[in-house]
Amino acid sequence: MKAAALTVAGAAVRTAIVVMMAFAVFGPLANLVLWAFAERWYTPHALPVTWSLRWWEIVFRPTGDAMASLTTSIVIALLTVVVALALSIPAGYALARLKLPFRTLILVLFLLPQAFPSVSIYINVARIFYSLGLAGTVPAVVLVHATQGLVYSVWIATAAFAAVDRDLDLAARDLGASHLTAFWHVTLPLAAPGITASAIFVFLGSLDEFTGTFFVGVPQVNTLPLLLYNAGMGGNYQIASITALILLVPSVVFMLLVERLLGADVLSRIGR
Amino acid sequence: MSRSSAFALLLVAPALALVAVFFLHPLVLSVMSAFMANGQGPTLANFSRAFELYSGDIIFTIFVVTSATILTLVVAIAIAGALTLSASASFIAALRFLYRWPLFVPFIVAAQCMRTFLARNGLMNNAFVALGLFDPTTTSGYLDWRGMVITFAWKQVPFVTLLIAGAMASLDRATIEAGRDLGASRLRVLVELVIPQVMPTLLVSATLSFVLMLSVLSVPMMVAGTQPTLITVDMAFRINAYGDYGTANALGVISYLLASGAAIFYLRHTLKDDRR
């Protein structure tokens, strides 16, 4: 009898924990969704007083600020991926395959921009760009985002190349391929899933980045996170919430993809 | 140096150059600017000004970031512990499904969510009032230090849980089973057997979270009021309102000092790992 009562009590506690956790995880997101469809919502009403799709229409109007910000954000994120991959593929190959002095130090250097309180870094980067006349331009924002993204692209590219069997490269060269041909037709395609995953991290990092753009991009470069911030601080919770939902879509979709692209063989080698 | 390692360095050089120009260079600039005033240096004038104006915010920053790190660790250990030690498969599946979601949410989106969720008329208060837990006439918002601690923890718990649960999963199950067989409760097994063995992972994830929270501008700006606030917001204010780089950079150096204890530990840990 006592054991049965304990089992029931245990199940009740577990159910309560799951319900509380679901509320803690989805409650804030639910509040966001409610605001996205609220026309009027004020105290003491627990739910929006009137609902509408009006703000969605305003956000998705082709000539609106939001569409311009979305375009800017995507262009910046794509350019950031191009810059980061162009630098990381050779660097990752060298770190994984070649004899490199100070290898650990070099790996740590790529981590530093992410492992440092960054606000004062951005303040001074903005100053550098200001003196170069590049403040408030897309290239400046791309360079800042790429610097932050390198830890993902270099570390994952290194792990991806390390996971490719060296003998395949040797076999290709035995058959007469040059170093470059063997790299281009054998090693790179085999490392491609890992490198694609790293591109997704860099893309999302850039898309979601706020602080660097806040200092380096103002006032001309207006990305989605800046639009969200300005709308939220200006009290327009509908625009802020819809923008937030737009930012959430690629995050959730891409993160689901990443799990398929990064196998355990690559994951276990990251940071080594 | 051999020809092949020169070639390897050449391949790494462009990526390193980016870090040098857009991270190391501004880092050096910020430290230099912190110790200079009116083009003259070295001086501590910026620091005395920073302490004079913002000593309250510096202490407040340490308090908020430390509290958020501790809350993150406690919740993450509880979830990871449940995932490792629970006997109920459906409970584990439910937790595993739930805990990851905030990982995919950008900080700025989390800040906007919490700005509404934790407000006086937010969904949290409304839900508690509807359940009869709160009296609607006395509810208050949480958009102060509590809001920041909750938002930081909400965002960081999945990442830390992922790391800790990973470390716990690779532990030797035999010692855990032995502890259970000897009659130890799950809590005791967690505290006395499991946590000591995953301590390195715990400390690394704590330091990473601590430093990350010192870098995030959107959460203090959007979730909390203006006073008191985190020094990240003060830095932005010195620049945007006064163009005062000296004081802003002095606050920046203070944030480096806060993070450096953590960073030194982290570097030591990764270097040790690499030698293996």
From B11, B86, B248, residue closest to A93, measured CB to CB: B11
* pLDDT at A30 (0 to 100): 93
Condensed to tens digits (0 to 9), the pLDDT of residues B186-222 reads 889 998 889 988 888 888 888 889 989 999 999 999 9
Read off the pTM.
Answer: 0.90
Q: Which residues constitute the domain of residue A84?
A: 63-267
Angle (nearest 5°) at CA B231 between B226 and B233: 50
Handedness of CA B27, B31, B34, B39 (dihedral sign): negative
* pLDDT at A265 (0 to 100): 77
Residues of chain A contacting B121 with CB distance shorter than 8 Å? 42-46
Residue B1: pLDDT above 60?
A: no
Q: Does B256 touch chain A (CB under 8 A)?
A: yes
- Backbone torsions φ then ψ of A168, nearest 5 degrees: -65, -40
Residue A135 and residue A47 share a domain: no
Cβ within 8 Å of residue B12, ≥6 positions away: A90, A91, A94, A95, A100, A106
Residue B228: pLDDT above 50?
A: yes
Residue A122 and residue A76 share a domain: yes
SS3 label, residue B85: helix
Residues of chain B contacting A24 with CB distance shorter than 8 Å? 154
What is the ipTM, given to two decimal places? Answer: 0.88
Give A69-125 as a DSSP string: HHHHHHHHHHHHHHHHHHHHHHHHHHHHHS--TTHHHHHHHHHGGGSS--HHHHHHH
Residue A223 falls inside a structural domain: yes
* pLDDT at B126 (0 to 100): 87
Residue A199 and residue A224 share a domain: yes
Residue A205 and residue A184 share a domain: yes
Contact (CB<8Å) A100/B239: no
Contact (CB<8Å) B239/A123: yes
- How many cross-chain Cβ pairs, A to B, lie less than 8 Å apart? 254
CATH code of the domain in which B233 resides:
1.10.3720.10
Residue A152 and residue A25 share a domain: no
Residue A117 and residue A16 share a domain: no
Q: Give me the tens of pLDDT residue by residue for chain A, a chain 272 residues long.
A: 567 777 888 899 999 999 999 999 999 999 999 988 888 887 777 788 788 888 888 888 877 788 899 999 999 999 999 999 999 999 999 999 998 888 999 999 999 898 889 999 999 999 999 999 999 999 999 999 999 999 999 999 999 999 998 888 889 988 988 888 999 999 999 999 999 989 999 999 999 999 999 999 988 999 999 999 999 998 888 899 999 999 999 888 887 777 777 777 787 787 77
CATH code of the domain in which A173 resides:
1.10.3720.10
Mutation target for B interface from A8, A123, A156: give the one with most B CBs within 10 A: A123
CA B184 to chain centroid, in Å, comes to 33
Residue A124 and residue A198 share a domain: yes
Q: A63: distance to nearest CA of chain B, Å?
A: 24
User: Averaged over B245-272, what is the pLDDT?
Assistant: 82
Q: Does B78 touch chain A (CB under 8 A)?
A: no
Q: How many domains does chain B have?
A: 1
Q: A235: distance to nearest CA of chain B, Å?
A: 11
Residue B184 falls inside a structural domain: yes
Residue A32 falls inside a structural domain: yes
From A42, A110, A124, residue closest to B29, measured CB to CB: A124
Residue B137 falls inside a structural domain: yes
Residue B67: pLDDT above 90?
A: yes
Q: Does B263 touch chain A (CB under 8 A)?
A: yes
Residue in chain A closest to B223 (alpha carbons) equals A233
Condensed to tens digits (0 to 9), the pLDDT of residues B69-109 reads 999 999 999 999 999 998 899 999 999 989 988 988 999 99
Q: Which residues constitute the domain of residue B155?
A: 43-275
Residues of chain B contacting A146 with CB distance shorter than 8 Å? 18
Confidence category of residue B276, pLDDT binned at 50, 70, 90: very low
Confidence category of residue B265, pLDDT binned at 50, 70, 90: low
Q: How many domains does chain A have?
A: 2
Q: Does B272 touch chain A (CB under 8 A)?
A: no
Residue B83 falls inside a structural domain: yes
